[in-house]
Copies of this chain bind each other. A is one copy, B any other.
Amino acid sequence: MRPQKVLDIEILTGLAKVFRSKGYEGASLKDLSEAAGLKKASLYHRFPNGKQEMADAVLNHISDWVDENIFSNLLDNDLTPENRLKKGLAGVRMLYDGGKEICIFRALSMQAGIELFEEQVKNGMNVWITNFKKLGLAFNLSHDEAENRAIQVLIELQGSLIVAKGLGELTVFENTLQKIENKYLRD
């Protein structure tokens, strides 16, 4: 076989960039192939089921990144709760590039995607809540408090991304990260 011209990771990175900025319907095969560095037909060779398979692959790729760079920190028993929190939030900051990038779930769950990715969005959110809840328990919060705070973290992250993007003020996102950190450290 001939060697791959472009590595899988490079393709996924390119595809992710387009899906995140344009959404599912908004991302054309032309956009996707240019960002991936492969012609359309070659993309179909890698993803025989087309655009949907590309979006799935991107979701899985990002999901793996989040596991490795955020959740693994939140749950790391070798760290103090304070350091789990700090390293976890550092991962969050990186995931969203300081507020410049949008949440891939949100980008893909609009439009036709509503039914297409509904289940994955729901599961994805529940995993975030579960893991932040475990962090809350490590801070000696009650089950209810830990769960409510986990949900609140999700709300504030998503909300601040929208507002930061809308206003063009990245500080809104950064302030929210600080606020979340302080809230856990204070009680």
Interface presence of A181 (CB below 8 A): no
Interface presence of A109 (CB below 8 A): yes
A166 engages B21 (CB within 8 Å): no
Question: What is the CB-to-nearest-CB distance from A127 to chain B, in angstroms, rounded to a whole number?
Answer: 12
Q: How far is the CA of A110 from the CA of B108 in the complex (A)?
A: 10
Q: Which of A84-92, A138-146, A155-163 contacts B (4 or more CB under 8 A)?
A: A155-163
Question: What is the CB-to-nearest-CB distance from A123 to chain B, in angstroms, rounded to a whole number?
Answer: 10
Interface presence of A26 (CB below 8 A): yes
Interface presence of A80 (CB below 8 A): no
Considering only CB atoms, which chain B residue lies closest to A114 in the complex? B21
Partner of A122, one of B107, B155, B167: B167
